[in-house]
Chains A and B, each alone.
Chain A
Amino acid sequence: MKPASFAHHAPLTLEEALALLARHGEEARVLAGGQSLVPTMAFRMARPAVLVDINRIAALDHVTVEGSVLRIGALARHARFETPAVAGPLGALLARVAHHIAHPPLRLRGTFCGSLAHADPASEWCATALALEARMVLARADGLREVAAEDWFQGVFSTAMAPGEMLREVVLPLPAPAWRGGFAEFARRAGDFALAMAVVGLRLEGGVVRGARIALGGIGGQPVLAREAMALLESQPPSPALLEEAAATAARHCDPQEDLHAPAEYRRELVAVMVKRALRQAVSA
């Protein structure tokens, strides 16, 4: 249970960090909170030759509203969101989600961007990023590019990020005033990875639902949108029967996996309940 040898670099600037990542390519990994990477290294499932520790780069430690977006820097820890990072329903949703990630000491250390980079199938922030149409800002020594959440996840622990790149920021669009969010997950014990979760965002305009997004997490290799349920809700008044039907639709069309924690059919049942709870929360907010 001891990590293999590596070289440790703790640059003070983003430029130095990107130069190190460019120089070492596939050999290098970013060390953010270390709450996923260090266990992986202890199990020797990862053996990076070089760690680029970003914990001393103060410029990455931000959560700021800029124009119509919320910018979340690579050093923003989970705990930062437990008190609303932004006013209104978005901040409230992020606070509720943050509270379900692991335990307080892990939340003080683990980062939002680290969760997106690690892409655990049961990561709360990954499902949230998909529901909220996040954009990932990737930096490398010679430039920047952005990747939409829908193109980011590429299977278990896999993303669109390439060697030499760093996830500098995640950008969340600030929602319209009529927007509401909802979140529900089920885990066997407090702080465990969830067996299923749903993150919901929608607008209530003139008594009907518009632009609903429902992301499911914890059920398979990567978070997915419940597109059929989203379509069902469009332009409908949010009656209890409609929410029930949307939840059943999400469960019917999803593709839950079986693992040692739960059989697929159990996860499907959980999806129906989690989607229903998240939708109820959103429409009653």
Chain B
Amino acid sequence: MTEVRFTVNGAAQCAEVEPRLTLADMLREECGLTGTHLGCEHGVCGACTVLMDGLPVRGCLVFGVQAEGADIRTVEGLAAPDGTLNVLQRAFQAQHGLQCGFCTPGFLMLATWMLEQPGGVDEARLRDVLASNLCRCTGYQNILAAVRAAAQEMGVWKG
């Protein structure tokens, strides 16, 4: 077992894990943060996407021990402490960007990263980035619409 110290959504965490435990499993099983979902567990679907030191990673392709000293952000950190949804989450709700919701945490974290990048977002960039993850329900159009709407509301949409 290895001791790992890191932060999740700003809070310090410490876990004793086997090296083979993935970051996504560590978040779910050691931190109790089950918002991060695991679909394929081999890098294809992106449901497990979290931000590690500001970059989106497949949580199933990073080992928990590799998060030593890292700053992790998960879907649990998006809404305000009182549960008020943020701009992006509200856009998903308003545009029907989810049905079963399994893929949603991954898409939210992926889009969060994209929207925070300098330079703004245009249609090509939107499609290039969101093509990273899979959704089996929505047919993608409403996910694109939701992120587009959020980008507009945030003033980073470059049409």
Contact = CB atoms under 8 A, between A and B. Distances in A.
Interface residues of B, number: 28
A108 interface: yes
B66 to A, nearest CB: 7
B60 A109 contact: no
Interface in B1-54: 2, 18-20, 22, 25, 40-43, 46, 49
A109 B113 CA distance: 15
A88 interface: no
A60 to B, nearest CB: 16
B62 interface: yes
B56 interface: yes
B107 to A, nearest CB: 12
Contacts of A53: 66
A109 to B, nearest CB: 6
A257 to B, nearest CB: 22
Bin the interface of chain A by size.
20 to 34
Contacts of A35: 43, 58, 61
A109 B61 contact: yes
A8 interface: yes
A1 B68 CA distance: 23
Contacts, number: 80
Nearest to B17: A8
B146 interface: no
A4 B61 CA distance: 14
28 contacts: A2-B22, A2-B41, A3-B20, A4-B20, A5-B20, A6-B19, A8-B19, A8-B63, A10-B65, A35-B58, A38-B42, A38-B60, A39-B43, A41-B20, A42-B41, A43-B42, A55-B66, A103-B131, A104-B128, A104-B132, A105-B49, A105-B57, A108-B56, A108-B57, A109-B58, A109-B61, A189-B131, A191-B131
Interface of A: 1-8, 10, 34-35, 38-39, 41-43, 51, 53, 55, 103-106, 108-109, 189-191
Interface of B: 2, 18-20, 22, 25, 40-43, 46, 49, 55-58, 60-63, 65-66, 68, 110, 128-129, 131-132
The 8 closest A-B pairs by CB, nearest first: A103-B132, A8-B19, A39-B42, A1-B41, A105-B56, A38-B61, A3-B20, A190-B131
